[in-house]
A and B are shown apart, each in its own frame.
Chain A
Amino acid sequence: MVYESLGPEVYGLLIWCPKPAVICVNREVPEPKQRMVIAHEMGHVHLGHEFGSDQYVHVDRRWDRYRDCIAPGLSEQDMEANQFAGELVMPTKLLQEAVAKYGNAPLTEEHMQELAAKFDVSEQSMTIRLSRLGLI
C-alpha cells in the first residue's frame, strides 16, 4: 500500500508485479473515499481479475462521476470490484441491522448522514450501497 498524489482524474492504481500487487491510492482523495478505493483494488486482486498479459498497471479513474455503478464507462470488472468494496466496507448484515434501528419509516437525510459517518464512507457511497441492497 502506498499513498501518492495522483491528480484529480485518478482514484487509485493497481500494479501487478505481476503478483502480489502494489495498491497506490490517491492521497488527495478524501479519506472515506480512500477506503473505498483500497477495497476496490483489493476486489480486483481477490476476484482474480486480469488486465491483459502485458499490462502491469491498472488505473482506476474517478467513477463517482457516474450516479451509480451501472455506468457505461465502467468495465464489468470495475463493477464487480465496486460490489466487493461495498460489501467489504459496508457489510450487508451490519447495514441491515443499522437501518432496522431506525424502524420502518423511510430513511431521512439525517439518517443517511449518520449511516455514512458510522461506516466512515461518503454519503454518496452509502446512498449507492443502500439502493443496491433495496433499503431505500
Chain B
Amino acid sequence: MREANLFYVTLGQRIRERREAASLTQAQLGGQLDPPVTRASIANVEAGKQRLLAHSLAQMAQLLHVPIDELVPPVLRPTTELVPAIERELRQKLDLKPAIVARLARAVQHVSTTHTDTPSDHAERPTRTKQR
C-alpha cells in the first residue's frame, strides 16, 4: 500500500512537471481528456491523492508529447529481491571489500524495512502517539 502511494505521488509529480513544461493549466489538460477531467481532479492526481485511469494516462502522455514510460515510475521490488540486486550493483560498480558490501546491504535492509514513510503515513502518526 505504501509502495502504491509512492508510485502515485511520483506519477503526479511527473505529470505536473510535464504539464508545466507544456504551459498547460490543470483545467486545460483535464478538459482535453476524453472523458474530460475537472481541474480539481488533475490537482489531486498531481498530488498523488487520486488514481488516474490507464486510458486517461495514455491520453495525457499523448497530449504532453511524452512517451508514457517516462511518466510511469518504476514499480518497487520487494526487499528480498532489492537487497541482492543492490549488492550485485555495488560489486559491479566498485571494488569494495566483501565486509563493506555486507554492511551496506544491512543498512539498505534496515532502511527499507523501517523507513517507508509517505505523506499519508505522517498523517496517521499523531493518532498513534495519542494512544500511547
Contact among B6, B86, B103 for A4, CB-based, below 8 A: B103
Of B42-50, B51-59, B106-114, B123-131, the segment with at least 4 beta carbons within 8 Å of chain A is B106-114
- If over half of A's interface residues share one DSSP class (helix, strand or loop), that class is named, otherwise mixed; here it is loop
**A56–B104 contact, CB under 8 A?**
no
Closest to B17 in A: A48
Closest to A1 in B: B107
**A56–B103 contact, CB under 8 A?**
no
The reply on A22 being an interface residue by CB < 8 A is yes
* Bound Cα distance from A73 to B15, whole angstroms: 30
The reply on B94 being an interface residue by CB < 8 A is yes
Q: What is the total number of residues of chain A having a CB less than 8 Å from a CB of chain B? A: 22
**A20–B93 contact, CB under 8 A?**
no
The reply on A10 being an interface residue by CB < 8 A is yes
Q: How far is the CB of B13 from chain A (nearest CB, A)?
A: 7
Query: Do A18 and B89 form a contact, CB below 8 Å, given A2-B104, A2-B107, A59-B94?
Result: no
